Amino acid sequence: MKLDSTISAVVTGGASGLGAATAKALAAHGVRVAIFDLSGEAAREVASEIGGVAATVDVTSDDSVSAGFLAARAAHGQERILVNCAGIVGGARTIARDRETGQISHARLDSFEQIIRVNLIGTYRCLSKSAAGMAELLPLGDDERGVIINTASIAATDGQIGQAAYAASKAGVVGLALPVARDLAGDCIRVNTILPGVIGTPMMAGIPQGIKERLEDAVPFPKRLGRPEEFASLVLEICRNPYLNAASIRLDGAIRMAAR
């Protein structure tokens, strides 16, 4: 897909980190970008910087996502690109042992369910609603109608201690890509997945300096955290390259996460 001002895009989680870098990179190529984010104020800031539009959207809510697409399409027309970046992390071990009493308790499922709701179901909700609109569009060159890019994580395969919910949610995002690409192939819509390693975004800002240095040291090459612009650059290439479909691409400097 040629990226220019005839194309519009929706970026979920576009108020921050990987989504914001993606929104900026698409806009730099003339693409009309709508940002969906739970944080409406931050979304509006990024949108005003790039001449795009913003909608306060909670990807766990059907009504909220539908309203977001209505607003985005009213402003820019039907999107041909959807980039799903909205996501949350959370850590909890499967069982916990009380230090004083020695009592063992099982995991609390409310946090597990919320991570699945946002990262996995939220991704599927947005892509399904987006694809339904894309399928109505006239095809471009190569007969393509649209492209969907989902954000998983290397935790999908290298989940660490305490990451059961996050890893399961991201493995789900990887797992749905092939069947969805097959579902949408007849409508000429591609679906690809990026599995970022450790990228320096606000999501990572909370980690202590010592752990950050250990993570950087664990990356074979280049020995540093990834940059949001490197993620955005891969999004652009996936949009441009019509033969990339149902691909899962690690973007991780060759890191393989240890158990902790």
Ligand X SMILES: NC(=O)c1ccc[n+]([C@@H]2O[C@H](COP(=O)([O-])OP(=O)(O)OC[C@H]3O[C@@H](n4cnc5c(N)ncnc54)[C@H](O)[C@@H]3O)[C@@H](O)[C@H]2O)c1
Of 72 and 198, nearer to ligand X (C-beta) is 198
Near ligand X in 135-174, by CB under 6 A: 151, 153
Question: How far is it, in rounded angstroms, from Cα 10 to Cα 33?
Answer: 6
3-state DSSP assignment of residue 193: strand
Axis-axis angle for helices 122-134, 164-185 (nearest 10): 20
Residue 17 in the binding site for ligand X (CB under 6 A): yes
Q: How many residues bind ligand X (CB under 6 A)?
A: 30
Least spacing, CB of residue 44 vs ligand X, in Å: 12
Residue 38 in the binding site for ligand X (CB under 6 A): yes
Give the CA angle between residues 63, 232, 6 to the nearest 5°.
Answer: 70
Among the listed residues 10, 59, 81, 156, the single contact to ligand X using CB under 6 A? 59
Residue 249 in the binding site for ligand X (CB under 6 A): no
3-state DSSP assignment of residue 196: strand
Pairing relationship of beta strands 189-196 and 146-151 according to DSSP bridges: parallel
Residue 8 in the binding site for ligand X (CB under 6 A): no
Least spacing, CB of residue 121 vs ligand X, in Å: 10
CB-based contacts of 113, cutoff 8 Å, min separation 6? none
Of 88 and 218, nearer to ligand X (C-beta) is 88
Asked whether the beta carbons of 112 and 183 are under 8 A apart, the reply is no
Q: Catalytic annotation on 166?
A: yes
Active-site residue, from 36, 112, 166, 231: 166
Question: How far is it, in rounded angstroms, from Cα 164 to Cα 161?
Answer: 8
Of 85 and 188, nearer to ligand X (C-beta) is 85
State the binding string over 69-98 for ligand X (x if CB under 6 A, else -).
----------------xxxx----------
The CB density around residue 145, as the number of other CB atoms within 10 Å, is 22
CB-based contacts of 47, cutoff 8 Å, min separation 6? 23, 33, 34, 35, 53, 54
Among the listed residues 58, 183, 216, 230, the single contact to ligand X using CB under 6 A? 58
Of 19 and 133, nearer to ligand X (C-beta) is 19
Residue 198 in the binding site for ligand X (CB under 6 A): yes
- Residues belonging to the active site: 166
**Which residues contact ligand X by CB under 6 A?**
12-13, 15-19, 37-39, 57-60, 85-88, 118-119, 122, 151, 153, 196, 198-199, 201-204
